[in-house]
Amino acid sequence: MNALIAAMPAIIVVLSFGIAVLFMAGTRYAVYLLVDHRGGTQAVASDDFVLPTLPMRMLWPLGRTLVLLSVLTIGAGIVLWRFIYGIGSVTNLSNAFPWGIWIGFDVMSGVALAAGAFVIAATAHILRMERFEPLVRPAILTGLLGYLLVVAGLLVDLGRPYNVWRPLVHWQIHSPLWEVGCCVATYTTVLFIEFLPVILERVNHFKPVTSRLPTVSLYKLLRRVGIVFVVLGVVLSTLHQSSLGSLWVLVPTKLHPLWYTIYLPVFFWISAVAVGLAMTIVESTLSSKAFKRGLELPLLAALGKAAAVVLCIYLAAKAADLVARGAWPLLFQPSLEAAAYWTEIGLGVIVPAILFMLPGVRQRPWLLFTAAMMVVVFGIVMNRLNVSLTGLLAYTGLIYTPAWTEIAVSVALVTLGVIAFGLIAKYLPVFPDENEHHA
Amino acid sequence: MKPTRIADGSNGSLTRRDFLKRVGAGVAAAMAAHAVAGAVHTAHASEGVTEDTPAVLIDLTRCIGCNSCALACKAENNLPNPESAPTGLSNEAFTFVSTIQLETPEGETLTRHAKRQCMHCLNPACVSACPAAAMYRSPEGPIVYRAERCLGCRYCQIACPFDVPAFDWGNPLTPVISKCWLCRDRLNAGEQPACVAACPTGALRFGTRRQLLAQAHALIASNPDRYVDHVFGEHEVGGTSMLYVSDIPFAELGFPADLPHSAPPEETAKVMEALPAVILGMGALAAGTATYTHRRSAAHDTPHARHGAAEPPPADASTSEREEL
């Protein structure tokens, strides 16, 4: 027994490396299985799909694979450690500071950064601006993966993760967290249904159109009733994006007055719309680089213009709230909170709003990308961390900085998302076929 | 009239006027839904709480810091290390006695002790926070916890204005939230909470909140030179079942100062009560807009290709513009 305990760290290292290898090989193999590669030439763009070359593809390019493998190994190891020695063993959390970056970044920021799915789906399918159609599937995939990672991060952070389903059964209508839980569970399902046609398209690729296979009829059904899920997605997103802000309405004595307001849910929702647009710009730009695709610059420019409008509304609402509550003088007192607030608003809202307004910026992909990244990093991630961490420090004292193990798990989660997006986008019809319309 | 593009790409498929009309249709539907939803209200967590709820009055002037209450609590609840006096709230201690050294203006040193534990709020933030009702108000009054429902999300810790709930950070799979439950089993058996029964000086008194508030005010009135005219817990965060009287202002004894007199759950209730309206309003807005745009496009669109038309439908803008003219 003692020997087992002593050997535990070594066991964890070996196990986590195995998990990382299994994940990387497994996702590739799953995608490989999903793709019908037997007879087709159209679906198979290259010789990527030949099974014996699979291990070779994993070793090349070696450097990138090694980096990804180590990030995943470390992440898996810390998660294993957490489930053997407790949350306290890998975090700097305490009774006085019970929520850290696994909530502030993984959950609060993660949900916001996945908002592109409902924003773009609503633009293309509810407002029916159909020219945005090419952006819908990548946005839905980003959203779906984002929510899956939020759930994964949450399961690591929850003390009793096997009870995660409880809110769905034991309704507690006074709790914003109950509402967030129910909505995230439902919306993740909705996102999967919204993404299902993409999988079915690939599955059905070599079947005749008149086929009576269930996957074909399901595909046709989803195409017909898809709009119902888009509407549902908008309602569910509005509810839980805002309710992540409502969580903090319960702590009037703890959250710094620069952030504490009853209108937090409204601000969370508006900023989610803004970052939904910004994330779509970021994701499209990166995809066009990674997959050497053309960039839908006019569409992204239009999103940038819309983001400028939303950011201005956000800024005006936040300013009006600060003035109405009389909290604005705090902005001009030297403090950690004032500095954090100015950074969040200045670099995350004001500067990108101005950049998005300039036609010269919107015509240059890298400037558009930079402005969008500012919204993502400062406007959203920093804002959510300010509300959930920085804004509490005045009450708790400087008792929390994230442990490297906490950061490593968050980095591993983001890495998982990037790998999964890359593989799925490569092998499933996520992006419109650039040659299709000329054929 | 020249159509104005809503966005600066080529091939814009929608005029601004069209856009506004589509959104307007949805807004009208949403406003109707809002009126319906306005009638829907949710109940408050504090409903049904009376002044006859079981309560404890703690007279800090009588506390000698003997820790009898804290040790009795550990014994009663089978907590670890039953012989050692705890120095803070944790998963090993539901209550502890804090010791505060104060300097008087004359330069003397005063020592005061304050028993701290869950305040058993009348409208508890932890209960309103818990997403699975693992933390709840028992029919008898005490705020209690049932581990079998708990997710371990720790939102109760965030919510509590007194930082009472404690988590078991070293337990990998079955951590629980620890806090005073006012010895609910003893109350049901007609006994006093263990801490009250153990107090040798009469610093702790058990009774109904109504009785104890009257006693507290009587104490202060009969000894106005001795006591501070403040019953801590009478109004703080909407009122608590644990009440304190003291000869030193509570802020100097480490009690949270400037707590609002309204319960924090009343703030979230304002938001949560708006949710039915948000659901119906946003649902009507989205569904209404979608119905309108789909009917319009069905009227003059050709069916789209498999991918849902990666290319915009040609001349949508000019078609609708011509119709309006």
Assigned domain for B289 exists: no
Assigned domain for A17 exists: no
Look at chain B and report how many structural domains it folds into.
1
Q: Is the pLDDT of residue A163 over 70?
A: yes
Inter-chain CB proximity A86 and B171 less than 8 Å: yes
Inter-chain CB proximity A159 and B8 less than 8 Å: no
Assigned domain for B33 exists: no
pLDDT above 90 covers a percentage of chain B that reads: 71
- The pLDDT of residue B178 is 97
Q: Is A174 on the interface with B (CB under 8 A)?
A: yes
Which of B6, B170, B275 is opposite residue A239, by nearest beta carbon?
Answer: B275
- The pLDDT of residue A208 is 62
Q: Is the pLDDT of residue A276 over 70?
A: yes
Lowest mean pLDDT among A13-17, A32-36, A251-255, A341-345: A32-36
For residue B81, the enclosing domain spans 54-272
Mean predicted confidence (pLDDT) in A288-297? 84
Q: What is the mean pLDDT of chain A?
A: 88
- The pLDDT of residue B198 is 96
Which of A93, A98, A432 is opposite residue B307, by nearest beta carbon?
Answer: A432
Inter-chain CB proximity B152 and A159 less than 8 Å: yes
Assigned domain for A356 exists: yes
Inter-chain CB proximity A95 and B89 less than 8 Å: yes
Across chain A, how many H-helices and E-strands are there?
19, 0
Mean predicted confidence (pLDDT) in B236-244? 96
Inter-chain CB proximity A250 and B125 less than 8 Å: yes
Q: Is the pLDDT of residue A273 over 60?
A: yes
Q: pLDDT tens across A140-151, in order? A: 999 999 999 999
- The pLDDT of residue A207 is 63
Assigned domain for B73 exists: yes
Q: Is the pLDDT of residue A426 over 50?
A: yes
Q: pLDDT tens across B175-184, in order? A: 999 999 999 9
| Closest approach of A128 to chain B, Cα-based (Å) | 6
Assigned domain for B42 exists: no
Q: What is the mean pLDDT of chain B?
A: 84
A32: Cβ–Cβ under 8 A, 6 or more apart, which residues? Answer: A49, A51, A54, A427
Mean predicted confidence (pLDDT) in A222-233? 92
Assigned domain for B163 exists: yes
Q: pLDDT tens across B129-144, in order? A: 999 999 999 998 999 9
Inter-chain CB proximity A179 and B272 less than 8 Å: yes
Show which of residues 14-33 on chain A sit within 8 Å of chain B, judged by CB atoms.
none
- The pLDDT of residue A27 is 72
Look at chain A and report how many structural domains it folds into.
1
Assigned domain for A149 exists: yes
Inter-chain CB proximity B151 and A172 less than 8 Å: no
Question: CATH no. for residue A269?
Answer: 1.20.1630.10
Q: Is the pLDDT of residue A39 over 50?
A: no
Question: CATH no. for residue B127?
Answer: 3.30.70.20
Mean predicted confidence (pLDDT) in B270-288? 93
Winning range, highest mean pLDDT, from B21-35, B42-56, B249-263: B249-263
Residues in chain B closer than 8 A to A93 (CB atoms):
169
Answer whether B176's CB lies under 8 Å from B135's CB: no
| B236: closest chain A residue by CA | A253
Lowest mean pLDDT among A28-42, A57-71, B71-85, B117-131: A28-42
Q: Which residue has the higher pLDDT, A289 or A175?
A: A175
For residue A397, the enclosing domain spans 86-432
ipTM above 0.90, yes or no: no
Residues in chain A closer than 8 A to B255 (CB atoms):
none
Inter-chain CB proximity A133 and B264 less than 8 Å: no
Q: pLDDT tens across B56-99, in order? A: 999 999 999 999 999 999 999 999 999 999 999 999 999 999 99
pLDDT above 70 covers a percentage of chain A that reads: 89
